[in-house]
Amino acid sequence: MAGPASERREHLVRLAAELFARKGFQATTVREIALEAGILSGSLYHHFDSKETIVDEVLRTFLDDLITRYRAVLERGGDPHSVLAEMVRIGFGTLEPHRAAITVMQNDWNYLRSLPGDRFDYLLRAEDEVERMWVEQIRAGQAAGQFRADVDPKLTYRMIRDTIWVTVRWFRPGGRLDTDSLADHFVKLLFDGLATGERASRPS
C-alpha cells in the first residue's frame, strides 16, 4: 500500500505531466510545476532532483505499461490477425490514462533525445522493441496468408502507430466515442478497408 509520500510524488508527477503536455517540456519551469502544486520551488526538490527526472518518470511509466501489455498479448499467442487487432486496442487504450505522456513523446521526443548523456536512450530502445513486435506480427500474417504480401511491414506499422498516437490530439475522454469504440472503428478500417467490392474491380 502506497504511503503519503509516494502518493504525493505521484500527484506531483501527474501535475507536471499535464503542464508538459500543455506547454511543452522545454517551456515548463520548475517554478510553474511548484505553483501548480501549491508548494515552493525548493519543496519540489525534496521529491525530484530535476525537471528531467519528472519527465523521465512520466515516460517510463507509459512505456513500461505499453510494452508489458504488448508482451502479454504475444505470450498468449494466437493467429496474427487476432494478435494485431488486440495490439491496436492496447494502443488506443493508452490514450486516456497516458494522454499527457503520449503528447510529451510527440512534442518533445527529439529534444529529449538530444540532451547530453544517455538518460533518455531508453526511448529509442523502447521504440525499437515495440516496432519489432508489430513488424514480426505483420510478417507472420503475411506468411500465413492473412495479410497482403504487397505491403511493407515496417511502413505499415509506422502508419498504424502514427494514427493511434496522433489521435491523442483530438480525442476527448467523456465524448461521443470512448477508446474501445475508436479501436473497433480502426480495426474495421485496417482489416476490412474503406472501399466496397473486390480490389480487382476497382479502378487503378
Give the pLDDT means over successive 10-residue stretches in the chain (204 positions): 73 95 95 90 86 95 97 96 98 96 96 93 96 98 97 97 95 92 96 77 45
Q: What pLDDT is stored for residue 202 in this prediction?
A: 47
Helices (H), the chain: 4-23, 30-37, 41-44, 51-76, 80-93, 99-114, 121-143, 153-166, 179-192
- Whole-number Å distance between alpha carbons of 122 and 134: 18
Type of residue at 112: L
Q: Dihedral sign for Cα 19, 25, 26, 29, please.
A: positive
Q: What pLDDT is stored for residue 7 in this prediction?
A: 86
Q: What pLDDT is stored for residue 45 in this prediction?
A: 85
Cell numbers for 108: 518533445
Q: What pLDDT is stored for residue 55 in this prediction?
A: 96
- Whole-number Å distance between alpha carbons of 148 and 68: 28
Written as one string, the DSSP assignment of 154-171 is HHHHHHHHHHHHHGGGT-
Q: What pLDDT is stored for residue 5 in this prediction?
A: 66
Domains and CATH numbers, the chain: 52-192 (1.10.357.10)
| Among the listed residues 66, 188, 181, 183, the one whose alpha carbon sits nearest the alpha carbon of residue 134 | 66
Q: What pLDDT is stored for residue 2 in this prediction?
A: 54
